[in-house]
Amino acid sequence: MDWVVAIVVVSTLGWLANNWIRAKHGYELEDEWGGKTAKKTDTAETNRLKSENRELNEKLDAMQDRMIVLEKIVTDRGYSLADEIEALRDVPQNSATGSGVPLNIDTKAKA
């Protein structure tokens, strides 16, 4: 009786391993009667999802391009927040001339 159970278990495990390998490599699966179960063809839902995925990838590529441009702007040698802050500190504030303080970045860069 133990041999019968062992044979059934080994056969079942072999069938499962066979189907797992076939599914992993894209082959048709065998059902319990030895017939084949073909993969489903693309449906309207699958096509819609593929189209949406393509659009999202295009948007992501465009956003990455924009981010690269922004990084170049921010890390450019001509753009220096520290110089702008120092230029604000160097100019004395005069309430009679107005509330704004001009930036003298050009005079600092030439010196």
Q: Quick check: 101 and 83 in contact, CB under 8 A?
A: no
**Hey, where are the domains in the chain?**
9-91
Q: For residue 27, what are its two tokens?
A: 């082959």
pLDDT, one tens digit per residue, over 39-72 is: 666 688 888 999 999 999 999 999 999 998 888 8
pLDDT, one tens digit per residue, over 64-96 is: 999 988 888 777 766 666 777 777 776 665 555
Number of other residues whose CB lies within 10 A of the CB of residue 19:
15
Q: For residue 55, what are its two tokens?
A: 């659009």
